[in-house]
A and B are shown apart, each in its own frame.
Chain A
Amino acid sequence: MSLLLEVKNLKKYFPVTSGLLFRKTIGEVRAVDDVSFTVSPGESLGVVGESGSGKSTLGRLVLRLLMPTEGQILFEGQDIFSLRRLDLTKLRQNIQIIFQDPYASLNPRMTIGQILSEPLQLHHVLPVRQIPERVNELLNDVGLAPQYANRYPHELSGGQRQRIGVARALALKPKLIVADEPVSALDVSIQAQILNLLQALQAKYHLTYLFISHDLSVVRHITNRVAVMHFGKIVELEETEKLFKNPFHPYTKELLSAVPLPRSQMG
């Protein structure tokens, strides 16, 4: 079985400068510090860590929204950082992202229909007259009525906006979706809805997920394997259930103990 994504010794360092007139680099922030892992098609890999652990930076690197300091990322065998423009466009069709903040990730001046049509228009994957139909299809996939196409983001609730974020990621029929804390900004009851949606969509469209979160409990139900990140390094990478039952690294144990669960007799 060929690998969909291969990350090899990836490093991203941000320089820290000081001084107003003459900027000197006095150090660096090692956001991602020699990270390696692979993702197989159809699987769901969770990346868990606190704020500052580098997980979001990792997500953006996979999407080529950032360039690395060192290291490689291979998508379907191709090095994504050395791609030329035409191939880069193809890459964008294959890897998509769902952002954390449903309020900031949608352009407030565009209608939902416009937001969802945009990727379709950019990549010319469909003749123009078929686009509205596809938009309706996407809305349906995420559980929203077709009327929403004419609404503006500020008229929707947080959960609904996040569904649009999911729909937008689906529009180009990508192979890999990076979900960057997709439910952290939502109420717990809505979190469950969105996670269920993501699971259903994965089955329907044979998607592969890279699921980034700071909350282990969220990741438990939706991933096959989990990578725990701490200060830019992966400290543990294990199958989800094994990790939860028998955490190895002390940091993983700390993360697990922090998950708030109501004391109840329900499983």
Chain B
Amino acid sequence: MIKGRTEWHIAKRQLRKNKLAVFGFWLLAVLYFLMIFADFIAPYDQAFSDGEKNFHPPVAIHFIDAEGHFHLTPFVYNTIERPKFSRHYLPDPSHRYPIHFFYKNTTLVEHSLLFLFPTSVHLLGVDEPARIFIFGTDDSGRDVFTRILYGSRVALTIGIIGVLVSYALGVLIGALSGYYAGKPIPLGWWKGWKPSIDVDNWIQRSGEMLLMFPSLYLLLGLRALIPEHLSSAKVYFLIVILLSFIRWPAIARVVRAMVLSIREREFVLAAEAIGCSNFRIIWRHIVPNTFSQIIVFVTLSIPSFILGEAFLSYLDLGIREPQASWGNMLTQAQDVVALTHYPWILLPGFFIFITVLGFNLLGDGLRDALDPKMRS
């Protein structure tokens, strides 16, 4: 049995040739890997804070000690705040604290590796009282690196879930709208008058009403409807719903246009001729032919969800403390003074940047790969 070669196989091959897209792919692969193993890779947990080390810069890692001896294992020095409360930290070269790999840190909460078995082992660690703040700390003494890793869970999932929900909605609505465009559904017949619903019209006009609102204000307005006291998880869930809800009209419009053109193709008429119901035609014939274009839009929409969440969290309307999110970590970067003295608190912004970059590169590559005219 000869296996057929679908559009996907051809597209995959084409995609591999696009170096930028491959780079984007691996960039995202690394980020998702870090996200999945965040508990393990992070040396501390989200809430952990060292009150004596607020706004601590990234800890220097040495191989050569003060006397000029080379050590195979990298090590750190403990630091002392001098003068007190100045947030100025001096390294104390008296004692070397080597970096342990696969360090068992019992002072922290147990985490479960891949949700399978609980353990206290982390990738890196140093003995007390030294710290391995790779990216420094924030104003509460919490490790930025750890919080970035935990924050990635929010950013990287909200994009995926958000597009899934909004596209499921948008494709369904858009397909109905496009299929019945120009063909009102008759509702029977009553006293010589034939009422019918113009599905397309209703859908498009209600979508347009939603689009009339400036998206940012709509988002804030809807956010205000969410009760204050909800747990972080519920807030997350509702934010995803919110963001998705705002997007469906734009998606539905695009899908509608695609469906309008696919609807006229002969194989749709052929499906009608063999006796397919309207529903089956839409579901089995028209919608699958929109996938190759939709997947490009999906990939390119993910960044806007990530940014939407970041925006809300930045305004303290999204994910709240102590839960880490790249958005709420950036709230601290509002203060210009802090930013000048402690620039490492901008790192979450850098991570947002590279995530968005990764999705954009991959999305562009996908679009080119799936475009039959750009085939070699």
Direct contact of A and B (CB under 8 A): yes
Which single member of B265, B270, B275 contacts A123 (CB below 8 Å)?
B275
> Given A151-B2, A152-B5, A155-B4: A109 and B266 within 8 A (CB)?
no
B residues 1-27 in Cβ contact with A at 8 Å: 1-7
**Are the C-beta atoms of B275 and A107 separated by less than 8 Å?**
no
Q: For residue A93, which residues in chain B have a CB less than 8 angstroms away from its CB? A: 275
**Are the C-beta atoms of B273 and A150 separated by less than 8 Å?**
no
Question: What are the 7 A-B residue pairs with the smallest beta carbon separation, nearest first?
Answer: A92-B275, A104-B266, A119-B274, A105-B266, A151-B4, A107-B267, A109-B288
Contact with B along A148-190 (1 / 0, CB 8 A): 0011101100000000010010011000000000000000000
B36 at the interface (CB under 8 A from A): no
Q: For residue A100, which residues in chain B have a CB less than 8 angstroms away from its CB? A: 266
B338 at the interface (CB under 8 A from A): no
**Are the C-beta atoms of A104 and B265 separated by less than 8 Å?**
yes
Contact with A along B236-275 (1 / 0, CB 8 A): 0000000000000000000000000000011101111111
B65 to chain A, nearest CB (A): 65
B196 at the interface (CB under 8 A from A): no
Which single member of A107, A111, A123 contacts B271 (CB below 8 Å)?
A107
Q: For residue B2, which residues in chain A have a CB less than 8 angstroms away from its CB? A: 147, 150-151
Nearest-CB residue, chain B, relative to A89? B275
Can you list 17 residue pairs at the A/B interface with Cβ under 8 Å? A65-B273, A89-B275, A92-B273, A97-B273, A100-B266, A105-B266, A105-B267, A106-B267, A107-B285, A108-B7, A109-B291, A122-B276, A147-B2, A152-B4, A152-B6, A155-B4, A172-B274
B175 to chain A, nearest CB (A): 15
Nearest-CB residue, chain B, relative to A99? B266
A236 at the interface (CB under 8 A from B): no
Q: For residue A106, which residues in chain B have a CB less than 8 angstroms away from its CB? A: 267, 270
B73 at the interface (CB under 8 A from A): no
**Are the C-beta atoms of A99 and B4 separated by less than 8 Å?**
no
The CA of A171 and the CA of B289, in the complex, are separated in Å by 24
A208 at the interface (CB under 8 A from B): no
The CA of A189 and the CA of B154, in the complex, are separated in Å by 62
**Are the C-beta atoms of B4 and A65 separated by less than 8 Å?**
no
Contact with B along A78-107 (1 / 0, CB 8 A): 000000000011001100110111001111
B-side interface size class: 20 to 34
Nearest-CB residue, chain B, relative to A90? B275
A50 at the interface (CB under 8 A from B): no
**Are the C-beta atoms of B274 and A168 separated by less than 8 Å?**
yes
The CA of A165 and the CA of B269, in the complex, are separated in Å by 13
Q: A99-B269, A104-B265, A118-B276 are in contact. List 18 more A-B contacts (CB 8 A).
A: A88-B275, A93-B275, A96-B274, A97-B270, A97-B273, A99-B270, A104-B267, A106-B270, A107-B267, A107-B271, A109-B288, A118-B271, A119-B274, A122-B275, A123-B275, A150-B1, A152-B6, A171-B274
The CA of A123 and the CA of B273, in the complex, are separated in Å by 12
**Are the C-beta atoms of A108 and B289 separated by less than 8 Å?**
yes
Nearest-CB residue, chain A, relative to B6? A152
The CA of A115 and the CA of B119, in the complex, are separated in Å by 53
Q: For residue B273, which residues in chain A have a CB less than 8 angstroms away from its CB? A: 63, 65, 92, 96-97
A251 to chain B, nearest CB (A): 28
Nearest-CB residue, chain A, relative to B265? A104
Q: For residue A63, which residues in chain B have a CB less than 8 angstroms away from its CB? A: 273
A201 to chain B, nearest CB (A): 18
B274 to chain A, nearest CB (A): 4
Q: For residue B4, which residues in chain A have a CB less than 8 angstroms away from its CB? A: 111, 150-152, 155
Q: For residue B280, which residues in chain A have a CB less than 8 angstroms away from its CB? A: 122
**Are the C-beta atoms of B6 and A65 separated by less than 8 Å?**
no
A178 to chain B, nearest CB (A): 9
A210 to chain B, nearest CB (A): 13
